[in-house]
Amino acid sequence: MFTTRFEAWVRRHAERLMSALARLPVTPNQVTVIGTALTFIAALLVAFGQLRWGGVVLAVGGTFDILDGALARSTRRSYPYGAFLDSTLDRYSEGAIYIGLAAYFSTIGGSLGRWLIIATAAALAGSFLVSYVRARAQSLGFTCETGVFARPERVVVTVAGLLFGTAFGGIVLYGVVFLLAVVTNFTALQRIREVWLQGRAQRLAREREAKEAQVVKGGQPAKP
């Protein structure tokens, strides 16, 4: 993931900032809710054609998505419900942005507008699948960390597309949407393959252990 190092750098500095501001009467969950509310505002701005302002507000909302975890770690108030709330509201946030994009593209009309709406729906499905595959895999005991476009990448690219949305006749934003439609689903397939490989390795290991146990139980077979 191309933003992994940048994200780690941002998180380190966010934790330092939150350590200095830990005495503020704000909980990590409140920061999460504020970030989600800002994302909803960004989605409304996008839906009504205010793309650049939508990009700016989305960037601020994405920053809150980092600060909530930093605050939880710095104040040692990290607990399962907070992680659950954060993940759930992240899905609402992504859905809101894609709905806002679809509403904006509906004003374009013609075949281009239809294709953009289809691409937006595909990007939404892919984004949800990326998160679902990881959550489901981890609940079953698998490791699922691969993928070229996780949430940080999607937010960065979406913000860039909105900020330059009206440039070159909208080609930048259109390209971003089609890119997201492809790479989000590709990332989901990458994670599905990763889990399949781990599952196959587990199955082969169990079969090997079963054969070894059968040999030990029945004794070594006689050589011809």
Alpha-carbon distance values, 79 to 16, 75, 145 (Å): 20, 11, 21
Does residue 65 carry a catalytic annotation? no
**What's the CA gap between 37 and 45, in Å, rounded?**
13
| Residue for token pair 């989605």 | 43
**What's the CA gap between 222 and 224, in Å, rounded?**
6
**What's the CA gap between 55 and 50, in Å, rounded?**
9
Alpha-carbon distance values, 22 to 14, 34, 72 (Å): 12, 17, 9
**What's the CA gap between 138 and 136, in Å, rounded?**
5
Q: Give the three-class secondary structure for 164.
A: coil
Q: Which is the catalytic residue, given 65, 68, 86, 90? A: 90
Q: Give catalytic residues, as residue numbers.
A: 90
